[in-house]
Structure 1
Amino acid sequence: MKNLIFDCYVSSDKSKLDIDKIMSLMKQSYWAMDRSEETLKKSIENSICYGMYHDNNLVGFGRVVTDYSTVYWICDVIIDVNCQGNGLGKQLMQSIMSTQELDGLLGILATKDAHGLYEQYGFIKEPHKFMMKKRTKL
């Protein structure tokens, strides 16, 4: 599916989201492959969500968690494996970063392998600053 970037669009309309397709995308990830549908639905309810669509079929997804005052966290950014390599991750990130409610807030995210993508949007590595408490249950 090369050159999809011209045919794709991003929407933050949650009513357009396809939960089954998002579950399928999460199973392609290293961070959410075991996430339950119940957990996914709850995370969507409590986040700003971005769906990326080609012919109205969801091919990418991302979420932002924020207090709208001090900080936002970008998470679950993923493009279907069959559509990767077309610049869709950049298009999705551009849509997320153009969200006016996030202007002036501290942005954070975690990634194992996409540092180059996120650095294009001003994110920097802070290896000795952040701490994490792992989940005890899914």
Structure 2
Amino acid sequence: MEIAWQQFIISDQKERLDLETIKGFLARSYWANKRPEERTLRSIDNSICYGVYDGLQQVGYARIVTDHATMYYLCDVFIDEAYRGMGIGKKLIETITTSLEFKDLMGILGTKDAHELYTQYDFEPDTERFMRRRPDYLR
């Protein structure tokens, strides 16, 4: 799937992904900065990934883990700092949440600072319901 929006392309074609851009951003993020590079690459291999492109340059990314029947987990979402404030994140989340593949599945995600973005697409805070176990390499 590819959609054109303004000067951007949103695509779920993995061959378009710029792995160096993704690894670089995630290494600077608060949620994945301790994740080993090989885990990031393996996560890409085993997930549905959306890239946002301005020409050939990747400027955004989102990764989805799903069973394709009941739920999906939206993670590793980012927009390059130079492209923020242009509505790209909104269009990326809208594309995912309205797609035939995901619109009828329960979506979950974790965020520390983007609640306003996700509530626009019907995500609701639910801190009492979810639990997590940190991987050994982070404990």
Q: Same fold (TM over 0.5)?
A: yes
- d(CA) in 1 for partners of 2:61, 2:35: 15
- d(CA) in 2 for partners of 1:91, 1:28: 23
Q: Deviations over 1:36-75 (max 9, x none)?
A: 2211111011111000000121001001100011110000
Aligned match of 2:93: 93
Question: Which 5+ residue runs of structure 2 have no aligned equivalent?
Answer: none
Aligned match of 2:12: 12
Runs (4+) off by over 6 Å: none
CA RMSD of aligned residues (A): 1.3
- d(CA) in 1 for partners of 2:55, 2:68: 32
- d(CA) in 2 for partners of 1:28, 1:80: 11
Count how many residue pairs are aligned between Structure 1 and Structure 2: 134
Aligned match of 1:45: 45
Q: How does 1:1-138 map to 2 (within 5 A)?
A: 6-137=6-137
Q: Is the 8 A contact 1:28 1:81 kept in 2?
A: no
TM-score norm. by structure 2 comes to: 0.90
- d(CA) in 1 for partners of 2:110, 2:38: 23
Matched letter for residue 14 of structure 2: K
Deviation at 1:8, TM superposition (A): 1.1
Q: State, as a whole percentage, how many aligned pairs show the same letter.
A: 43
Q: Which moved more, 1:64-73 or 1:98-107?
A: 98-107
